[in-house]
Amino acid sequence: MIELSNVAKTFGKNRVLRGVNLTIPRGQSMVVIGGSGTGKSVLLKSILGLVTPDSGRITLDGSDVREANRDAFLARFGMLFQGGALFDSLRVWENVAFRLMRGATKRPKDEARAIAIEKLRRVGLKPETADQFPGELSGGMQKRVGLARAIAAEPEIIFFDEPTTGLDPIMSGVINALIREIVTEMGATAMTITHDMSSVRAIADRVAMLHDGLIRWTGPVSEMDQADDPYLQQFIHGRAEGPIESVR
């Protein structure tokens, strides 16, 4: 279980997180929604230690993440980045098997390649893709490779940062379905940040809405449509009118 208590982060004069409280239960898929620039990525990166919060506490299974052994802590996570974040100079299979070829979980090259090809197959890519470079793939294929890399070491917790951004609706549907299947299959705890409502409905067990540096609403996805929070309702229905200010 991941717990965030009063997590705050400021960049210069911009108070991005103002005291976030959020619990992500083990084995559940939590989707954090919110407009652009509301601090969703900062929240996710704070958990991973890529951003250091100014105050507050983040715990994983009761232990403060700042006190954890860094390698052991990160070995429990997999992450799909918004743009894929694939390493251009490495072949696709080397990207997928990156963690498997280094550190404590290092495996022989042939075994790492075989696992990478299996994971590529799991996300719907053919074995021939393995020897291509990321630059030779379409955006959708890059997302799939990123997904294969995120699950390659079979992590307990998987983070998805805007998994469908920049994809057409059909490919978005494919990626959403893949994420749901994989998270269920692996029994992993998942945290997704997105502003794509089709992703929310496809992926989420629980939803949290982040607005103005605070969690405005959180609850099961089944209760989202009936919730009476005006911010949440404006956001999920994409209305221009409402308490959330929009620049026009």
> Which residues here bind other proteins, judged by CB under 8 A?
45, 48-50, 70-71, 74-75, 77-79, 81-83, 85-89, 98-99, 102-103, 149
CA count, 13 A, side-chain hemisphere, 142:
19
Neighbours of 239 (CB within 10 A): 12
CB neighbours of 99 closer than 8 A, spacing ≥ 6?
A: 75, 105, 149, 152, 153
Report the residue number, 60 or 86, with the smaller CB distance to other proteins.
86
Q: Which token pair is 179? A: 């994420």
Closer to other proteins by CB, 40 or 216: give it. Answer: 40
C-beta of 85: minimal distance to other proteins in Å?
4
Question: Quick one: 97 or 178, whose CB is closer to other proteins?
Answer: 97
Residue closer to other proteins (CB basis): 48 or 197: 48
* Residue-wise burial string across 135-168, b where 16 or more C-beta atoms lie within 10 A, e elsewhere: eebeebbbbbbbbbbbbbbebbbbbbbbbbeebe
Least distance (Å) between residue 42 CB and other proteins: 12
CA angle 112, 130, 87 (to 5 degrees): 85
Could you give the C-alpha distances from 236 to 6, 24, 165, 192, in angstroms and in order?
Answer: 25, 21, 17, 16
Give the nearer residue to other proteins in terms of CB position, either 153 or 207.
153
What do you get for the CA distance between the two ends of the chain, in Å? 40
- DSSP-based three-state secondary structure for 70: helix
Structure tokens at 228: 């009476």
Q: Between 77 and 217, whose beta carbon lies closer to other proteins?
A: 77
